[in-house]
Amino acid sequence: EVISNPKHRGNAMLTVWGLAALGVVLSCAQQILTYRADQMHDKERADLPRQVAEYIRNTSPAPQFLVESAASGRPAAPTGLVAVVNGHTGTEAISIGDQIFEFLSTQGDPPQRRLGETEVDFLIRPNAWYKQVMDAYHATLQAQTETIARMLVESHSLPANVLDLARNPVNLIGVRAVAKQLELAGKSSEKSMVRQ
């Protein structure tokens, strides 16, 4: 429909040109935002190899925890070996519980977030720390812990679910819980041995 009134025609033309100008401004703004997003993406992509290398370095087990293979000429130490003298599993359970608590006390506190550290970098550092501590626990104490827990379960001094937790403590909370349960079962077993 043709607008014959010059005032209405001027308003219509002003509206059309205003919408066109708004479209141009929004298109320019979108181009600027896209350019900035591309720049951020390129920067993150360039930093990715460093983050991956740091993650691998932080999550790989420390050399002292690697077990020597038979090909290297040195056999690995036996795992799960527990010495029980005269059936005193309680004494050994207390000893292993003490060893676990000593081990945990030497690991220090988990990492805290550093000033200016990105969220990804912060997540990588504590995960690497927890993995390193759990790997060290599995390499040094897990087999003996599982063995003594099995012995205590078989003698009905320890609930069976503690043996499951000893096999796979999942995290440091589980490790502490197993150590506490071993100490309690060991003390209970020692008291029953004294009564006999």
Question: How deeply is 189 buried, as exposed, middle or buried, from its count of CB atoms within 10 A (0-12, 13-18, 19+)?
Answer: buried
123-142 pLDDT, tens per residue?
888 888 888 889 989 888 88
Q: How is residue 12 annotated by DSSP?
A: H
Distance CA(115)–CA(69), nearest Å, equals 42
38-69 pLDDT, tens per residue?
998 888 888 777 776 676 666 655 544 444 44
Residue 136: name the closest of 178, 112, 177, 103 by CA.
103
Distances (CA, A) of 151 to 86, 102, 128, 146, 170: 14, 22, 33, 9, 21
> Whole-number mean pLDDT of the chain?
80
